[in-house]
Each structure stands twice: as structure tokens, then as C-alpha cells.
Structure 1
């Protein structure tokens, strides 16, 4: 199988983020971690993922500083996988993906899980990027300023 191209030195933030969390299993592990899953066996049961693939993805998420293995909270010989601050900062990404999925992938009357505010039980408000003046920002109102080709990759010493 051909190795995929790495983007960890790319000047594009999206490419670098996809390198860390773009794999479907990684995103689903992160989703489950936000839902309170902590144990290897619980991740495996929730996702139906092979043990070797799960071990690989958990290791990658640990190396990326997104998850941290800690002694089990119940004092057993197991370990828990908990989100780090870096992992917690992925919450808006998952909310945006969830909201896009709700809007684009379900029929109007089709049942699906709902993300709610714990204190009120009310659904989370739709996330939208905003302009500097607070008004909604659409893609046509933005552009990426790319680095010149000669400085796209920093020189390595």
C-alpha cells in the first residue's frame, strides 16, 4: 500500500490539521472521548474497530498531544484516555461537523442525536463564522493569503 503524503510542514493549517485528526477513526475516537468514553475496550465496543487499528490511532492521538493515557480513575490496572487541553480545543470542529451533518445528511423528519447545553437541555445554537463587525461570514467574503512559492517551506538547517 502506498504511503500517504504527510503535510506536517505545510504552510496550510487545514493540511496540518488533517494530518493529525483527518482520519475517520481519529475523529470518532475524539467524538467518543467528548462523550465520556475513556477505556480502550469502551472505544472498541462503541466503534467496532479492530484492536490494532484502535491501538495505532490512540497512540497517534497521544503523540499529537490530543489524548493522554492516565491511570484508571477506578484504581484498576487499566488506563483511561482523556482529552488534553489541545484535544478539548477540537470541540468547535466537532460541533461544526455535527451541525453540517444534521443539515446536509438527514431528512427533515429523520431522527438523530442532538447536542444540547448540559445546564438548560436546549440544543446548541448554530455555529457560524462572523466578520469583524459580528455579521455572518460566507465563503465568498473570505480568501486565503498564500505564501509565495519560494517561501512556502521554511528552510531547514
Structure 2
């Protein structure tokens, strides 16, 4: 991958791991049930050498776990770790954004549906720790304990970030 972001920002740091054109597609396929190298290769269209590199990076980042496959000594299976499964909202949000703004109603290639009600999930909403939906205009962004002076300055000057409508 290209050069890394080097300032304290959760988005920049996440992009250091997830920010190339193939990584989220590999993660998407893992959510869809792919576990083998060939499945990732076929389902994403990535080249063999790039797939090998990206799988290694995802294992190193503890997003995927690599285990020997039972039937062969040289073959491996990949599975999402706890850290990898926590990307479910990222994958769902990107799917919904793509459906809404790139495809439109009736043209969505993939839909997320609530198992219990059968309703199509149209938007991922921010919630409090007890599950209450928070209106976006009520979200305030502030510098956290890991932020530096540059972060504090940037956040304090922000007129709206990014949730105010």
C-alpha cells in the first residue's frame, strides 16, 4: 500500500489498514462466507500477488485469522476475528450508501434485511450505549485523550462536523 497517515486520527489510522481499493472487498467476501484463497480471488477479481499481500496485512492487523486447512498442509482458511467482525457496520454503511447514491431504488445489487421483520435496512443510525438512536444534529465531535494539539485546533475550529444537517 502507499504511504501511511501519521497523525492521531481514527479515520486516518483505519485507512492505513483499509484504505486501498481491494481490502474492503476482501472483508466483504469474508462476511459473505469466503474462507479460501480461491474464493477471495474469484469473487473480487484481485490479482494473486495482491491478494496474498492483502490477506497477510489483514492477518497482521488482526482483522482476519489464518488457520491451516484440514485437507492439505499448504492450504489455509481465513476467518474474521472479533476486530474484523466489528467492521460489519462499515460494510453495511458502504453498501447502503452505494445502493442509495450509486444505484437507486430497484437497482440495488445487494440488500440488507431485518431477519425478524423482513424489512429492508435503509440506514445505519448512531446509537447510545443503551441503544437509543441519536439525531445527527445532536452529535458533537471533540478531541479525545489521544489527540494532539493539531487535532484539538482542527476540531475546535470546525463549524459543523460532519453530522450537522
CA-to-aligned-CA distance 1:61-81 (integer Å, 9 cap, x gap) = 011000011122xx2112110
Residue in 2 that maps onto 1:155: none
Alignment TM-score, normalising by the size of structure 1: 0.79
Deviation at 1:122, TM superposition (A): 3.7
Q: Secondary structure at the match of 1:81?
A: strand
Deviation at 1:119, TM superposition (A): 5.4
Structure 2: runs of 5+ lacking an equivalent: 154-165
Residue in 1 that maps onto 2:104: 107
Matched, 1:31 2:28: yes
**Coordinate RMSD, CA, aligned:** 2.8
Distance (Å, rounded) in 1 between the aligned partners of 2:118 and 2:151: 52
Alignment TM-score, normalising by the size of structure 2: 0.76
Residue in 2 that maps onto 1:147: 148
**4+ residue runs of structure 1 moved beyond 6 angstroms?**
none
Residue in 2 that maps onto 1:6: 4
Alignment counterpart, residue 63 of structure 2, candidates 66, 72, 83 = 66
Asked if the contact 1:130/1:137 (under 8 Å) is kept, the reply is: no
Residue in 2 that maps onto 1:18: 15
Aligned residues: 146
1:121–1:147 distance in 2 versus 1, CA, 3 Å: same
Structure 1: runs of 5+ lacking an equivalent: 153-157
